Every structure is written in C-alpha cells, then in structure tokens.
Amino acid sequence: MAFNALSFAKTLLRFSKKTLLEELKHVDARNTFSSSNINIKTPRLLRSFSYLAVDVDPDHVDPKLLSDMVRDKDTDSLTQFGGIKELATLLGTDVKRGIRDTHVDIDTRKRVFGVNEFQKPQSKGFLSFVLESFKDTTIIVLLVCAVLSLGFGIKQHGWKEGWYDGGSIIVAVILVIVVSSVSNFNQSRQFKKLSAKSSDIGVEVVRGGRRQSVSIFEVVVGDIACLKIGDQVPADGLFLEGHSLKVDESSMTGESDHVHVNGDTNPFLLSGTKVSDGFAHMMVTSVGMNTAYGAMMGSLTRELDEETPLQARLNKLTSAIGKVGLLVAALVLFVSMIQYFTGNTRDDMGNREFVGGRTKFDDVMNAVVGIVAAAVTIVVVAIPEGLPLAVTLTLAYSMKKMMRDNAMVRRISACETMGSATIICTDKTGTLTMNEMKVTEVWVGKKKIDEDGYLAPSLVQLLREGIGLNTTGSVYQPQETSQPEISGSPTEKALLSWAVVDLGMEIDEVKQHCEIIHVETFNSEKKRSGILMKEKRGSNRFHTHWKGAAEMILAMCSNYYDHAGEIRIMDDEERVQIENIVKGMATKSLRCIAFAQKSSNVYGKLEESELTLLGILGLKDPCRPGVEEAVESCKNAGVKIKMITGDNVHTARAIASECGILDPDEELEEEAVVEGFQFRNFSQEERMEKIDRIRVMARSSPLDKLLMVQCLKQKGHVVAVTGDGTNDAPALKEADIGLSMGIQGTEVAKESSDIVILDDNFSSVVTVLRWGRCVYTNIQKFIQFQLTVNVSALVINFVAAVSSGKVPLTAVQLLWVNLIMDTLGALALATEQPSNDLMKMPPVGRVEPLITRVMWRNLISQALYQVLVLLVLQFKGRSIFDVSEKVKNTLIFNAFVLCQVFNELNARKLEKKNIFEGLFKNKLFIAIVGVTVALQLVMVEFLKKFANTERLSWEQWGVCVGIAALTWPIGLLVKCIPVVTNE
C-alpha cells in the first residue's frame, strides 16, 4: 500500500510510544518508503520507539505542537516526542554541531516555522498627526473666524473679491497644520527606526559546529543558542546542556523568584526571559509570534517619544506665557470692541467704520469677526507651542548624529540630562582599555616561564584541564591546517588561546577524557569560577579546578606546583613572595588570573581550601587610543571621572595613572584609591566626607558601585554610570544617566540603561556628554529667540489696539510669523553642531534655571528695541515716509519679520560676541535663513491679497533691512554688559 511521508511525520509527533507502536504494526514491513526523509532499517526495530531511526525534514513538524509544549511546560508532550534528542533529530539538528550553516536550510526553516520577529502595533499615519493638529482649540477658533469672514466677505463683495480675508486665514492655518504634521510625522518615523535598532540583539549560535554571533531576528527553529549570565533568551526552546542555569521569568509570570532550568525536571526556556546565573546551550523550538512571549515582546517595543523632564518644564513655561497671551488678547478684544462700537475707528478712506443705525449688519459682522480673529491670532502668537517642537527636533537630530558617533539613545530624556552631568563613574575593562586580552606573563610557583621554558607534562595536563573545562568559551577547529576559532569573553579567549598555542591543548580531547559533575559559574562577588570533574579512563579520581582573581585564589591555597611538577608547601614567607609577584605584575597594568586544583578519591563538593596553586597568568589589556585626551576633556569641562573596577588595587592604580584619572604627583593620591570593602565599611559620614576625593575604587562589587552612585546623588551630583554586566543593572538604574556597553554588555545591562555605547569606548561617552550639552544649549537658544518674538508681537499689537483700535499685524501675518518661529526657527537652531567651547563650560547641574540671566539680558534688549522701532513706525510711519496706511502696515510687518531673521543669528551665541563663528559649518542654518527671506519676499511682493500687504520700493526694503540689521550691533553692545551668574 502507498504510504505518505507527511502523514507519518505528523503521526510521529502526535502519538505516544504505545500508540505509535500500534500504528506501526499495521504497516507492512515489505513496503518501500519513497521519502528519503524516513529511514526504517528493519522491521524488528519497531519493537521500541527508542530504536526507531528517523530523520524528518522540518517541513513535516507542526510548529503549533512545539509552541504549545514549551509554553505549557508540558513534559508529557516532550516524552511523546521521545525526549530532547529525538526532537532534535526530527528538527534536523545535531545537538553538538547545530543546524547546517547553509542559506537553503536557514531559509527553509524560516518559511516553515516563521521568522523571529514580532508584530508591532501599527504606527500612526500622517492623517493622525493632521487630525491631532486640528484638535488645537486656537486653530479651531481661527477656522471658525475664517469661515465667518469668508461668508460675510463673499456676501458683501461677491466671490471675486470677498474670499480674500477669510480664505487667507484658512490657507495660513492649513499651512501651519501641514508643516507641524509633517515635522511630527518625520520625528515619529525617526524614533521608530531607533526603537527597531535598540531591539536588534546579538545572539551566539552554533551552526555547522562553529560558534558565531547573529542578529536575534536571524535565529531559526533548530538553532543551538549559547546562553550566559545577563543574556536574553532569544526564542522558546529546550535546555540541551549547561550548568547552574537560573532564569528570571518575572516578565512572563510576575514572580520574582528565579527558576532553575535543567535537562531533567524543567528543560523549558521562554523567549524574553533573562539568564540570571549559569550558562547553557538551548535548542530553539519556536520563534517570533509562535513563542509564548511573542505578543508581549511586540508590546515591549519602546516608544521613544515620551515626555522628557525638559519638555515638561517647557510645557509649564508655555502654559504660563499662554495665560499672559489670553489676558492680552481679552484686553485687545474688549478695547477694540468698545472703540469700534463707539465710532472711534476709521477705514482706509478716513471714514468712521461704525455709525449707529446706518452701518449694515454684514459690515458690523465683518468687523466683529476681524476683531475676534485678531485677538485669537494674538493668542496663537503668544503661546510658544514651538518650544516642545524645538525640543523634539533637537533631540531627534542629536539622536541621529549620536548614532553615527557610536551612541544609541534608548531614552531620549538622557540626551538633555547628560548635558548636566557632573560625575562619570566608568568601568575599566573595555571602556578605558581595548578589551583585547593577551597572556604576556606566566608564573609557576616563584619562577617566570618564558616561551621556551620547561613545564612538567603532568602540570601541563592539569593546566589544560583547568583552562579547557572551567570555561564558558569554545574552540572550533575548521580544518587541521587552519587556525582555530576561539569564542567567548576577551578573558576566556586569551586564556584558551594561550592553552591552545603554548600548551598544545586540544579541547575536544580534554573533554572526552573528563566528565564534569558540578560547575560554579563566575561570580562578581567572589570573582572566581570552579568545576568538579572526574577522569573517565583508568582512574576514579575527582578533581576540583578553580580559576579567578589571583589574590582570591591564592587565599584558598596551602601548596603550589613548581615548574617541574613537584608540590611544595606554601609557608608564610613563600606566600608573601608569591603575593609580591602578583603586585609586580599588577603594577605593569596586568590582570592576574590564577589557577588552582585539588584531587581526591572520594566524591564530594567543590573544595575551597587547601588547594594547590597551578600558576598565575598575567593578561595585558592596553589602554584605548585617545582615552587620555578624553579624560582631560572631561576635567576641563568640570566633570569628574571615577574609575570603578574589579581588578586589584595595583592594576587599578596603574591603569588610572596611564589614563590620566590619577595624577601621580598629587598629594591626595593615597586617599584617591580605595578598595570596595573599605568603601562599604566606612560609616555614612565618612563616605560622604571622602567620596569627592575618591578617584578609583578597586576590587569593587556591584553593590559597592550602587552605593557610590547613591552617595554621589545625595551630595547633589548628576551622575552618569557605565556598566556591562547583569550586576551593574542596579547602578545603571540608580544613576541619572545609565550608559551600557554595546559589545560586551549583557541584555539586562542594556535594558537598565538610557544610552548604549556601541563601541564600548570612553571617548564615545565624552561624545555623548558633548551632545548632551549641545542639546541643552540649542534649546536655550531657541527659547531666547522665540520669547523675543512673543514679547515683541504682544506689546506691539496690544499698544496699537488700545491706542487706535486696530492691530498693525493681521491674523495671516501673525500666523506667518508663528510658522517662521515654530518650525523654521526651531529647525535652524536645533541643528547647531556641538563646539569645543561647550567642553570649557562648567556643568549645569540640577538646579540651574532654564532661562538664565544672560538670556534675560539678550531677550529684553532685543524685544525692547523691536517694540520701540515698530511703535514709532505705527504712529509716525505715514508722516515719516509719506505713505498710505496699508504701506505703513506692510513696512511694520516686513521690518518685524526681518528683525527675527537677523536676531536668529544673534541667538546662535548666547554669550560670545562673534555670532558668525562656525556659521558656514551649519549649511542647514544658512539654507533655512535663505528660505525664510525668500518666502518673505514672495509674501510682500506677490501675495498682496493673501497677506494683506502692498509692494515696497527698493528704498523701503532698504529701510526694513537697516532696521533689522541694527539688532546685530545692539546684541554686541549688550553682550559687553557683565552679568552676575546664578551660582
């Protein structure tokens, strides 16, 4: 009879051993199976499920069954599959070598089981931003006024002439809405891209026997993923091998207790959970939306447009100014109405506009609508809604530039906060140094071993075991003639490389001869890791191997091996000699890793005393190029650097001196370096008294780092912290700005941080500091610029309305000014690049007011000049220039706009007298100023009906430019006036 391979595979997945055996009894043993994916060698092998040799293509495995099994942690279903190894066979996975590393195999798995991506909430479209803009109350009132004006205008003057006033307001409002919506839509897309980038996690997988790093989005079903402390589990899967694996499943279950995962009782691993202890290899069984965490992970996509502290402060400022604007608008409305209805206003011909009983109703309504529109427009101009937009533009622009400078912003509030930082607490390894470890010194006993030095074979074998077994790294040998590929942390890679090259270690051979019984993974508190192993051949002896920080391991030893393999007792004198060797290595900036072991004929636990020292290896990690300059730059900027490291005090002191954090000639040097246990044992008063003088903390635990951050914050500092490990998470969260490392950083550290330094380089931390200060300064520039316009426009319209009953700046003209301020002005000043001057200023700190005395000085002087000049034009302009009322109003409008254009250049430099410095480096600023002037020319000369203007002569344009140009010398003179700072 014919037999279908697909139905057989599904049957295999759905039935228990007993049911499957019954099904198979009905199969005629003489049948030949056409599918190459199923190979049943002889009928007698059907007696037991475990003897059935099956190789099923991934096309024949039901993804839903796998998903349900892991989600429900259903051990019965796993048993029905025949266990983890049988399931690996069904998925075409080798438990040691992983899947085949071919595009065809990987693409097939993606097609059948899906990709490891999550459905994200649909982002808002452009129309959504348009509708949000229409919800603004002032916009709605303006549109109502415009419609009324349109209706009465058409009724009074007909279609040809009557639509100008109302239509102009409608067009201006629509223009404002469109520009605002386009800007917000673009920022939303930018934030979405950054959010996607921050979700792209690197995952280590084994494919074709080779350990490699791939994007989390490239993980497929059947992959063997390597997990270590701090990693995020990339997909649902099953535990294959590992030790002491504990997983934080609080994101799934809400329970804070960490779950122990092993191959016996609980082999299930859920996507999105975090590894809190141990290490393991897992086999991926479900990806993307098929995982238990799929929907939840989709919701974890960070929305980066949260309100920042600075935006909150600006919203309060906007609200306060808006209230003043409403009051002014109400007064203008009240006074204008009284003046109109008492007959004190006149038209362009000099006739009274309102004569009781004679004026037509349509004329009255047109006048009333015009007065209301002017009042509403005053509110629109008064409310600086461009301030939050300026912050958004500045932050978005800065985030994009910072990404190019190897800093990915996860929380946009960190951009502005970083500008206020007064202290940076930095790691050593990988941040100040290259994180490229290499073994440069080897000591066995009291003898330094050169490259050609002799080591006893028995000692060599013990070192091979201590390095090759007690590691989370791996060695892959593609071919006998090629160089081995070594994976793992930089320290593990350096140790494994030395063992392979200098000791001739073959890691597979070492693992074949030994059986690992128990593992204690590296702990940042104890700073060591250990294994208990048993020899497989010719002996029943058990061996304990430890490796870790030299002084920690040395304290556990009572004996040591000499280079001839002889065990010698370590008395007090020899212990001091070996400790001096460690100190000597540390003063050369070497990280000292020691190895020790103990043998026994009796099975027991990991021994922690009376060990025998195997040897001490010195690893060199050179300082990064440019670190010394970066540290000096921070010092000049008034930002103090504190180095917090797990290395011993001698290594820490040497590196800190090399980087410029410590000055060897300083009298405070002894107080400047402490060890973690000293710091935590200080009383609270001692810590607070000494903390500002501490520059380096050695042998520190994560809790010491957290304690330092808390103390610094209590002292009033704005603290930035760098970290890369899981245990750095508390300090990263506690800090005002958490900076995690993108290369060596764990996912837990990245989740807890605000900014990810993509190249793990301290110079990039300084770049973030520069950009943070740039963001803060750019926003201050825009505040000064916009408030100058707000004050000028309010005062001019209020005084004119109260005195004459008419406002010189119409609704359309004020909307145009509003557009220049809110969008073009914000974009121009938001894109100013960080300059070296920023790193010569002291940090802002926590309590510095947003509008400084320097800004008030500049703002008031410019606003006062504009008000005086434009009011002279308002009351004496017709007689001075011998022009009509309409030309006079056009002169006022044109001079007012050009004043803002010239004052925009003044705003580039809050204190420096040379406002043109660096101008040509910001081509966007020049382009925006050019566009603004060109559009103003079009408004005045070609859109007379729309803007209610008259064409101006060359002489009149020259007058307007001259009035505006005077803002430069006034700004220069004002900056000569000394200002007492707020400090």
On whether both 669 and 710 belong to a single domain, the answer is yes
pLDDT one-digit tens code per residue, 728-738: 888 888 998 99
**Average of pLDDT values for 105-132?**
82
pLDDT (0 to 100) of residue 796: 84
Residue 899 is assigned to a structural domain of this protein? yes
Per mean pLDDT, which range of 571-575, 592-596, 655-659, 747-751 is the poorest?
A: 747-751
- Provide the b/e sequence for 603-627 (b: ≥16 CB within 10 Å): eeeebeeebbbbbbbbbbbebbeeb
Chain centroid offset of residue 189 CA: 16
Rounded to whole angstroms, the Cα distance separating 40 from 1 reads 16
Query: Is the confidence at residue 391, as pLDDT, over 50?
Result: yes
Q: What percent of the chain has pLDDT over 70?
A: 82
Rounded to whole angstroms, the Cα distance separating 621 from 189 reads 41
Query: Is the confidence at residue 15, as pLDDT, over 60?
Result: no
Residue by residue, what is the 3-state secondary structure of 967-981?
HHHHHHHHCCCCCCC
Q: 233, 271 in Cβ contact below 8 A?
A: yes
Rounded to whole angstroms, the Cα distance separating 917 from 908 reads 9
What global pTM score does this model have? 0.73
- Of residues 791 and 894, the one with the higher pLDDT is 894
Residue 357 is assigned to a structural domain of this protein? no
Which residue range is the domain that position 643 belongs to?
407-434+624-760
Report the CATH number that the domain containing residue 228 is assigned in CATH.
2.70.150.10
On whether both 588 and 650 belong to a single domain, the answer is no
Helix 361-382 and helix 309-341: axis angle, to 10°?
150
**Average of pLDDT values for 871-896?**
90
On whether both 232 and 85 belong to a single domain, the answer is yes
3-state secondary structure of 849: coil
Give me the count of residues in the chain.
983
Residue 353 is assigned to a structural domain of this protein? no
Query: Is the confidence at residue 672, as pLDDT, over 70?
Result: yes
Query: Is the confidence at residue 247, as pLDDT, over 50?
Result: yes
Per mean pLDDT, which range of 175-189, 465-479, 611-625 is the poorest?
A: 175-189
Q: Which residues are registered as beta bridge partners of 407?
A: 757
Looking at 760, 785, 800, which one is the last position of a domain? 760
Domain count, the chain: 4
pLDDT one-digit tens code per residue, 805-840: 667 777 778 778 877 766 777 778 877 888 888 888
Residue 189 is assigned to a structural domain of this protein? no
CA nearest to 144, candidates 173, 115, 119, 121: 173
Query: Is the confidence at residue 3, as pLDDT, over 60?
Result: no
On whether both 939 and 805 belong to a single domain, the answer is yes
pLDDT one-digit tens code per residue, 61-113: 678 888 888 888 888 888 888 889 889 988 889 998 899 989 999 998 998 88
pLDDT one-digit tens code per residue, 563-585: 899 999 999 999 999 999 999 99
Contacts of 344 (CB under 8 A, 6+ apart): 805
Q: 65, 13 in Cβ contact below 8 A?
A: yes
pLDDT (0 to 100) of residue 607: 86
Residue 153 is assigned to a structural domain of this protein? no
Report the CATH number that the domain containing residue 655 is assigned in CATH.
3.40.50.1000
On whether both 689 and 822 belong to a single domain, the answer is no
| Amino acid in position 10 | K
On whether both 756 and 832 belong to a single domain, the answer is no
CA dihedral sign, ordered 387, 392, 397, 401: positive
On whether both 602 and 632 belong to a single domain, the answer is no
Q: What percent of the chain has pLDDT over 90?
A: 24
Looking at 297, 326, 360, which one is the last position of a domain? 297
Opening angle at CA 655, ends 649 and 661, nearest 5 = 100
- Of residues 159 and 164, the one with the higher pLDDT is 159
| Amino acid in position 961 | V
Query: Is the confidence at residue 303, as pLDDT, over 50?
Result: no
On whether both 834 and 742 belong to a single domain, the answer is no
CA nearest to 228, candidates 728, 722, 748, 703: 748
Report the CATH number that the domain containing residue 885 is assigned in CATH.
1.20.1110.10
Rounded to whole angstroms, the Cα distance separating 956 from 361 reads 38
On whether both 463 and 588 belong to a single domain, the answer is yes
Q: Please, what is the average pLDDT of the chain? A: 80
For 2, the token pair is: 């014919």
Looking at 251, 276, 297, which one is the last position of a domain? 297
pLDDT (0 to 100) of residue 158: 66
pLDDT (0 to 100) of residue 6: 39
Sequence-separated contacts (24+) of 470-476 with Cβ below 8 Å: 470/519, 470/529, 470/530, 470/531, 470/545, 470/546, 470/547, 471/495, 471/496, 472/228, 472/279, 472/521, 472/522, 474/211, 474/226, 474/507, 475/500, 475/507, 476/209, 476/210, 476/211
Tell me the pLDDT band of 538, cut-offs 50, 70 and 90: low
Residue 178 is assigned to a structural domain of this protein? no
Residue 447 is assigned to a structural domain of this protein? no
Burial of residue 203 (CB within 10 Å: 0-12, 13-18, 19+) is buried
pLDDT (0 to 100) of residue 255: 64
pLDDT (0 to 100) of residue 57: 47
pLDDT (0 to 100) of residue 793: 82
Phi-psi region of 448 (alpha: psi -120 to 50; beta: other; left: phi over 0): beta
Query: Is the confidence at residue 382, as pLDDT, over 80?
Result: no
pLDDT (0 to 100) of residue 343: 73
On whether both 744 and 802 belong to a single domain, the answer is no
Residue 311 is assigned to a structural domain of this protein? no
On whether both 740 and 804 belong to a single domain, the answer is no
Selecting among 427, 621, 724, 728, the annotated active-site residue is 427
Tell me whether residue 760 is one of the annotated catalytic residues. no
Contacts of 163 (CB under 8 A, 6+ apart): 150, 153, 154
Tell me the pLDDT band of 14, cut-offs 50, 70 and 90: very low
On whether both 806 and 924 belong to a single domain, the answer is yes
- Provide the b/e sequence for 293-319 (b: ≥16 CB within 10 Å): bbeebeeebbebbeebebbebbeebbe
Residue by residue, what is the 3-state secondary structure of 473-490?
CEEECCCCCCCCEEECCH
pLDDT (0 to 100) of residue 224: 94
**Average of pLDDT values for 303-326?**
66
Report the CATH number that the domain containing residue 509 is assigned in CATH.
3.40.1110.10
